[in-house]
Amino acid sequence: MSRRPGSRPHGQIRRSQLITSFGPGSMMDLPNHSVLIGGLDSWSTGGDEIIEPRLVDKLKELFDPPLQVLKLYAPPPDNDDPTAPQTGITAWQFPEWFITQDVDSDSNRGTVRSRMLVHRRMLTKGKFIDDSKKKRSVVPVRFVRACRNGHIGDIDWYFFVHGAKTDCRRQMWIEERGTSGDLAEVWVRCECGKGERNMAQATELRESLGYCDGARPWLGPHAGERTCNEINRLLIRTASNAYFPQLMSVISLPDRNETLREAVETVWDFIGEVEDVSELKYERKKAKVHAVLDGFKDEEVFAEIKVRRGQSAETAKSIKQAEMETLIASKDELGDDKPDGNFFARNLPRDCWDAPWMNHVERVVLVHRLREVMAQVGFTRFEAVSPDIDGELEMGVRRASLAREISWLPAIENRGEGVFIQFRKEAVEQWASRKDVIARGMRLLAGYEAWKGEHTGAKKKFVEAGGLLPYVLFHSFSHLLVTAVSLECGYPASSIRERIYTIPDVGYGVLLYTGTSDAEGTLGGLVQVGRRIHEHIRNALEMGELCSNDPVCAQHEPSNQHERRFLHGAACHGCLLISETSCEQHNEFLDRALVVPTVDHLGIEFFSQGDS
């Protein structure tokens, strides 16, 4: 946190948390204060620049209008030298309303516990001095107002208590009139005797907190937006829905396009005049051409020929498509095997993992070394916005800004390892075309439609495009495998992350990986279990067949209005749900009935009992 030269900071935090839990606009409790983390304009520029062109190109397009120049920087490090230039991050005190810690009890009112509600301007050296000259310690009030656009501010307590604009400025009290802590038992009253309300009305009555004024206090004074006018909603400072960072990440890969360009350049004299893919196939039969272009598809070679001729612009690939194409390249090794390398992977020979239940698996790749770069673009409140299955954030989504003018974004780089499993494309397509599987997909889709009805304007790109079934299949399989692998790999399940690849034109696969900003993500545990991945897959499949909540879990109907688990099929905390730090879709779009047989005996599983 920012400080005067020669003084100690008010608090410290891990750098990686500054783009996740406690990024710009988030609320945080320090030892003596409650604060709002300041925007990028108030960060010192002490962090190192992070180079990742593929991520930067994607991030530029998310802004309106698209940015011409954008850089990524790591959060500023702490500097223990008091004489060194100031580093750190400014944090603004928030909220400005407090309640006294002393409880005033009234024997005539039973269990009522009353605390005075006071503004920061009423404090003297951090204490409130009441009418009897008694100094009272105070703590920040836990209720604030916010809107769906990310704006936030203090509640107008006088307006809330009286139900309308008022000139009354008498002392207000917050009272707990029960022992459950329910909002209906938390009352706010004014000493004038003309107004009191319980906090449940702040959530039940549509306009009880008024309309949003567009306040963005994390960006400093006079940084509000005047065009909001959304209805304010009650927000509890420490609630899990108070802050959702919007993150985009890529895995640094060997430049496959550069390799392709060099290969085409080498044999240009042979293929430079081809007019279509059939002519290219004929030229590739020549020994020299075949040797140079081995590992590249005819279509991508011909596309590169057209780009070289200037006949077409190079089509931008999605984040996951580029990663998938690299991971499934036919070479036995990818990248450089050196300590400071960004990526190194080896194909695991089939005879090391071949088994009856692995007949749908085409390739296993041990990723010995990888580098993930993760950047924060903005944030939302109340509801999270996840990247789609291509790893892209939706354009046009209203996200709260990290700065008044964006010229750079905060990012971190993680080093780690992983294991990638590619599935046979024809097996997935054949399974997805079965009538009973399609019928299950309609039931999942009905749940999604019910969810969308409660989230106006929200949609998931892969559901709208018809990619629901393959994604739910491999997403559910990934969760089962994370749980099974974590028992032996040495990493806790919360440290293992997933990337699900369901790209019909390229293929289907699952990457489990781990990564940290230090060496703890490269200890070799995932690579080691990858050498026996067939055993772990079998364990995962057996674990998924029975849930401790069956038959309730297996027979759950996604569109059920009473259970309100619209994005789940056969999935619950007893079987599929894992740490949200591991899941790329916040534990949504899961159904183990697509993966393995359940007690409901639907017969739609991708991994059938006959495979084992």
* Single-letter residue type at 245: P
Distance CA 607, CA 612 (A): 8
> Residue 538: inside a domain, yes or no?
yes
pLDDT in tens, 111-140: 788 888 888 888 888 888 887 788 888 889
Interior CA angle at 33 toward 27 and 38, to 5°?
A: 45
The pair phi, psi for residue 362, each rounded to 5°, is -100, -35
- Same domain? 305 vs 364: no
- Is the bond preceding residue 597 a cis peptide, omega within 30 degrees? no
- Same domain? 560 vs 455: yes
Q: In 67-222, where do the E strands start and end? A: 71-73, 91-93, 97-100, 104-105, 113-119, 123-124, 127-129, 135-140, 143-146, 152-153, 172-176, 186-190, 196-198
- Same domain? 414 vs 532: yes
Domain boundary among 93, 111, 144: 93
- Same domain? 36 vs 174: no
**Upper half-sphere CA count for residue 260 (Cβ side, 13 Å):** 21
pLDDT value for 424? 93
- Same domain? 352 vs 439: yes
CB 59 within 8 A of CB 248: yes
Q: Coil, strand or helix: which one is 223?
A: coil
Determine the structural domain holding residue 574 and report its residue range: 342-398+408-611
Domain boundary among 78, 93, 108: 93
> Residue 2: inside a domain, yes or no?
no
pLDDT value for 577? 93
> Residue 8: inside a domain, yes or no?
no
- Same domain? 175 vs 280: no
- Same domain? 448 vs 584: yes
Domain boundary among 304, 327, 350: 327
- Same domain? 562 vs 516: yes
* Single-letter residue type at 501: Y
> Residue 55: inside a domain, yes or no?
yes
Positions in the chain whose pLDDT score sits under 70: 1-11, 45-46, 79-87, 104-110, 255-258, 307-316, 330, 336-337, 339-340, 388, 390-397, 456-459, 461-462, 464-466, 517-524, 609-612
pTM of the model: 0.80
pLDDT value for 15? 77
| Sign of torsion over alpha carbons 447, 452, 453, 454 | positive
> Residue 270: inside a domain, yes or no?
yes
- Same domain? 45 vs 110: no
pLDDT value for 45? 65
> Residue 225: inside a domain, yes or no?
no
pLDDT value for 309? 66
Query: Residue 234 to residues 23, 185, 213, 381: CA-CA distances in angstroms?
Result: 21, 16, 15, 11
pLDDT value for 4? 43
- Same domain? 61 vs 110: no
Percent of residues in the chain assigned helix, strand, coil, to nearest 5: 30, 20, 50
pLDDT value for 526? 86
pLDDT value for 29? 86
- Same domain? 519 vs 607: yes
| Longest Cα separation, the chain | 99
- Same domain? 388 vs 503: yes
Number of structural domains in the chain: 4
Residues contacting residue 310 through CB under 8 Å, at least 6 positions apart: none
Q: What interhelical angle do 435-453 and 468-486 show, nearest 10?
A: 90
pLDDT in tens, 352-411: 898 899 999 999 999 988 888 999 999 988 887 777 676 666 655 678 888 888 989 999
Distance CA 145, CA 454 (A): 21
Q: Coil, strand or helix: which one is 583?
A: coil
